[in-house]
């Protein structure tokens, strides 16, 4: 099977490419490299291009017979989306539409879409199930929810089947030690905490300690990036066997506060990690915890890294060996 991975040089995309290659699939990675890293793509064909340029993506479909698409190419920062909603709707919805137009033209009928827990907004109850209300509190979540609706109507009209995977908080790094998380600038909690453990930052800013949670800091459900990657492959298999379109949550069903994550990181790294409390980050809901029962039941998804210390440990190996991200080469494996 020939699989196009749009945004395959990014964090979750590159880990999915690694699993697809290990399973012997033919993979074409398409990425603008605005945020992705070419070194993160461990094999297959690489094509540099931007989904906002229709010709870039059409060329790929014209030259190859694409059986299925896994679509990661998007902007994904809550804070940035509050300041630049235009960027988010353009890249995430118009870019996605260009991909769908190419799929219609070249008769590709399967797509796995990288969605988010941010589609729910402030949840009415936790753990969150897929049929909970979707009222995003930020343009990032809204842009992803809009694209889920676009997908639904493309299924109705053109028979394009989709699985939309609503990720909670992706974390950790590949067991090979070769790929991991590297954003510039970094804004995610676990990499920031580990950069602080490495002495690359003075301290970690905690965005608000006045939330209605046990210790006042935001609670999130962290899921290992390889467990996420495997879910994409299971979802694709399901569509191949004539499965219907579906939406699935992906998390571990356990919530950890910002302060708890920092405490686990102190234990894993053995380092003192200094913190300071600052104001809330705009657009952040207080608690996001997944129910992943649906994907477990329907696709037999079974996370291998349910333990938060193991997740942070795998990220720590990556950060220790790549203190400057992809600028430095890996030296040690993580078993
Ligand atoms: N966070 C924080 N300090 C930071 C980065 C993040 O307190 O330097 C908090 C953030 O407000 C959120 C949680 O950590 O409640 C996870 O944030 P992250 O950006 O990693 O993921 P998101 O929840 O936005 O997908």
Q: Express each pLDDT in 71-104 by its tens digit.
A: 999 999 999 999 999 999 999 999 999 999 999 9
Among candidate residues 158, 155, 278, 168, the one with its CA nearest the CA of residue 220: 168
pLDDT at 14 over 50: yes
Contact yes or no for 303/224 (Cβ under 8 A): yes
Indicate the pLDDT class of residue 305, thresholds 50, 70 and 90. Answer: very high
Q: 10 Å Cβ neighbour count for 210? A: 11
**Ligand 1 pocket mutation pick from 197, 207, 286, 287 by most atoms within 8 angstroms of CB:** 207
Indicate the pLDDT class of residue 283, thresholds 50, 70 and 90. Answer: confident
Contact yes or no for 72/117 (Cβ under 8 A): no
Q: For residue 284, how far is its CA from the centre of ligand 1 (angstroms)?
A: 8
**Ligand 1 pocket mutation pick from 79, 122, 138, 188 by most atoms within 8 angstroms of CB:** 188
Indicate the pLDDT class of residue 335, thresholds 50, 70 and 90. Answer: very low
Contact yes or no for 13/72 (Cβ under 8 A): yes
What pLDDT is recorded for position 327?
Answer: 80
3-state secondary structure of 24: coil
Pick the atom of ligand 1 nearest to 188's CA.
20
Indicate the pLDDT class of residue 42, thresholds 50, 70 and 90. Answer: very high
Among candidate residues 220, 211, 194, the one with its CA nearest the CA of residue 78: 220
What pLDDT is recorded for position 331?
Answer: 47
What pLDDT is recorded for position 330?
Answer: 47
**For ligand 1, is residue 207 a contact (CB within 6 Å)?**
yes
Integer Cα distance of 167 and 162 in angstroms? 15
Contact yes or no for 164/158 (Cβ under 8 A): no
Integer Cα distance of 185 and 104 in angstroms? 36
Torsion of CA 19, 90, 79, 134, to 10 degrees: -80
């Amino acid at each position: 099977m020939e699989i196009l991975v749009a945004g395959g040089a990014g964090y979750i995309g590159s880990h999915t490419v690694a699993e697809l290659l290990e399973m012997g699939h033919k993979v074409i990675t398409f990425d603008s490299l605005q945020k992705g890293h070419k070194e993160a793509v461990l094999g297959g064909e690489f094509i540099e291009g931007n989904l906002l340029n229709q010709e870039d993506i059409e060329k790929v479909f014209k030259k190859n017979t694409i059986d299925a698409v896994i679509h990661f190419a998007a902007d994904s920062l809550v804070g940035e989306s509050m300041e630049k909603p235009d960027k988010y709707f353009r890249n995430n919805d118009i870019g996605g539409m260009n991909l769908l137009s190419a799929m219609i033209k070249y008769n590709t009928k399967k797509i796995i879409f990288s969605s988010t827990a941010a589609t729910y907004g402030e949840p009415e109850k936790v753990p969150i199930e897929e049929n909970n209300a979707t009222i995003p509190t930020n343009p990032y979540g809204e842009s992803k929810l809009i694209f889920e609706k676009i997908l639904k109507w493309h299924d109705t009209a053109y028979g394009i089947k989709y699985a939309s995977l609503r990720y909670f908080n992706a974390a950790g790094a590949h067991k090979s030690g070769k790929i991991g998380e590297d954003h510039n600038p970094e804004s995610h909690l676990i990499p920031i905490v580990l950069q602080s453990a490495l002495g690359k930052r003075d301290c970690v800013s905690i965005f608000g300690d006045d939330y209605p949670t046990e210790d006042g800091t935001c609670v999130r459900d962290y899921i290992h990036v390889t467990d996420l990657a495997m879910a994409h492959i299971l979802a694709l298999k399901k569509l191949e066997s004539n499965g219907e379109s579906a939406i699935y949550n992906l998390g571990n069903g356990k919530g950890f506060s910002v302060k708890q994550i920092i405490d686990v990181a102190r234990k894993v790294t053995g380092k003192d990690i200094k913190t300071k409390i600052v104001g809330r980050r705009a657009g952040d809901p207080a608690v996001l915890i997944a129910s992943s029962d649906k994907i477990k039941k329907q696709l037999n998804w079974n996370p291998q890294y349910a333990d938060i210390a193991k997740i942070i440990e795998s990220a720590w190996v990556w950060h220790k060996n790549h203190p400057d991200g992809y600028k430095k080469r890996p030296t040690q494996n993580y078993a």
